[in-house]
Amino acid sequence: MNLRHITPAFRTFCGEDALQALPRELARLGARRAVIICAPAILKHPDALRRVHDALGQHLVGQFDGVVEHSPLPAVEQARRFLAGHDAEAVIAVGGGSSVVTARAASILLAEGRDIRQLCTHRDADGRLVSPRLTAPKLPQWVIPSTPTTAYGKAGSAVRDPDTGERLALYDPKTRAQGLVLDPVMALTAPAGLAWSAALNAFSLAVEGLQSRHVDPLADAQLSHALRTVMAWLPRLLKDPRDAQPRLHLMLAALMSGEGSDHTGGGLAQALAHAIGPRSSAANGVVEALLLPQTMRFNAIAVGHRLTLIADLLGLAERSAEGAIAEIERLLALFKVPIRLRDIDVSQQSLTEATDHAMDDWAITRGPRVPQRDDIEELLSTAW
């Protein structure tokens, strides 16, 4: 076996006193001036936010609460100006995936000092997707989440241009978070529906990662346990939305799914969810889960043996690709995931535009079977 597995430094704190680690961690980094990046919804939970403020103490020099869903470019630019205006030395993303992505993207724009279209992934003259190397030092990031998003441990930041509908992808390993603080009070601030949809992303990304052609036992271990954790704790979230424990466990699952898939890649369902999500009434995690069985069938030709691994993890007597897909469909029904794209208000007319954007998504190149445009059109039409 030939294996190259590099694990970036990452610290995780979970529990009632987890926030008390923040001052120590900022001191370790030599960062005295921290800025919070969050969405307006967090302001409705003053007790949870006060816990963060109290923990940061004199380190806190400002709070930007203008995060918008899908991290549109105008909001990211506002966050960049806020960081610059407060001489930030560290960034604390508080909330869901959009807060995490906005904090990362704003830090990139601040450090690089160039137009985002000079920094984002694009096709070169030969038609290949290329991510420019971003060399400027970046502000250290910490995450205090309210949802189980896989964005915690990632190095990519997807910014949406509301004028064109494009997804502008930035990639910079220097914006990976230093660590994660899981606070039970903050975990309860998100509506149960948001926690549910984010957990579906963790579930889907784990399944997609396990379909990879690149076999990495260390990543497989993370992805497998992420899958088992979501299966165990998502029903408990649905049963008792006011219990913090399911949310904390799902957050750990999201971390494992995000980190594990960094080594194996995401895949087709992820790329299609990036394109369809903003054109639907559902969160990206719901769209990704809805599309998962279709993309598994597409991949089965190339990695049927990896689907039998998933069948083993699901405890199936029938170790077949179709058996694994059928069990995933059963679980998604148990998790109350919609079945068709039209059920989440995706118009048939928007499928062509979504196909265009999916073809330019880096994640589409990471799956076990790279689709052609006709494949995507057929898959989306079937899912619609």
Given a cut of 80, whether residue 362 has pLDDT beyond it is no
- 363: confidence class by pLDDT, cuts 50, 70, 90: confident
Tell me the C-alpha distance between 189 and 176, whole Å.
Answer: 24
Residue where the block lists tokens 């509908």:
165
> To 5 degrees, how large is the angle CA 166–CA 350–CA 77?
25
Per the prediction, the chain carries an average pLDDT of 93
For 370, which DSSP code?
P
CB of 209 closer than 8 Å to CB of 265: yes
Average pLDDT for 47-57: 97
Tell me the C-alpha distance between 106 and 83, whole Å.
Answer: 8
Compare 213 and 66 and report the one with higher pLDDT. Answer: 66
pLDDT of residue 357: 85
- 305: confidence class by pLDDT, cuts 50, 70, 90: confident
Percent of the chain with pLDDT over 70: 100
Average pLDDT for 291-303: 93
- 215: confidence class by pLDDT, cuts 50, 70, 90: confident
Q: Considering only CA atoms, which of 232, 229, 131 is closest in space to residue 173?
A: 131
Given a cut of 80, whether residue 266 has pLDDT beyond it is no
Average pLDDT for 128-134: 87
Given a cut of 80, whether residue 49 has pLDDT beyond it is yes
CB of 98 closer than 8 Å to CB of 68: yes
Query: Helices (DSSP H) in the chain: which residue ranges?
Result: 21-29, 46-56, 73-85, 97-112, 184-187, 192-209, 217-239, 244-264, 268-276, 284-313, 321-334, 350-359, 373-383
- 74: confidence class by pLDDT, cuts 50, 70, 90: very high
Tell me the C-alpha distance between 273 and 253, whole Å.
Answer: 20
CB of 207 closer than 8 Å to CB of 231: no
Beta bridge partners of 157: 170
Given a cut of 90, whether residue 100 has pLDDT beyond it is yes
Look up residue 336 and give its two tokens: 């109350």
Average pLDDT for 129-154: 94
DSSP-derived secondary structure for 119-163: TS-EE-TTS-EE-----S----EEEEESS--GGGG--EEEEE-TT
Interhelix angle 244-264/192-209, rounded to 10 degrees, is 30
Given a cut of 90, whether residue 130 has pLDDT beyond it is no
Average pLDDT for 68-78: 95
pLDDT of residue 278: 85
What are the tens digits of pLDDT across the range 233-253?
A: 999 999 999 999 999 999 999
8: phi > 0 → left, psi -120 to 50 → alpha, else beta; which?
Answer: beta
pLDDT of residue 267: 81
Given a cut of 80, whether residue 173 has pLDDT beyond it is yes
pLDDT of residue 379: 92
Please name each of the domains of the chain with its CATH number: 11-185 (3.40.50.1970), 191-383 (1.20.1090.10)
What are the tens digits of pLDDT across the range 309-344?
A: 899 888 888 788 899 999 999 999 999 999 999 999
Given a cut of 80, whether residue 366 has pLDDT beyond it is no
Determine the straight-line distance between the first and last CA of the chain, rounded to whole angstroms.
Answer: 41
Compare 20 and 213 and report the one with higher pLDDT. Answer: 20
Average pLDDT for 273-300: 92
> CA distances (Å), 263 to each of 61, 72, 324, 370, in order?
36, 28, 23, 17
What are the tens digits of pLDDT across the range 14-38?
A: 999 999 999 999 999 999 999 999 9
What are the tens digits of pLDDT across the range 148-167?
A: 999 988 999 989 999 888 88
Beta bridge partners of 60: 34
Beta bridge partners of 141: 91
Tell me the C-alpha distance between 15 and 173, whole Å.
Answer: 28
Tell me the C-alpha distance between 143 and 125, whole Å.
Answer: 38
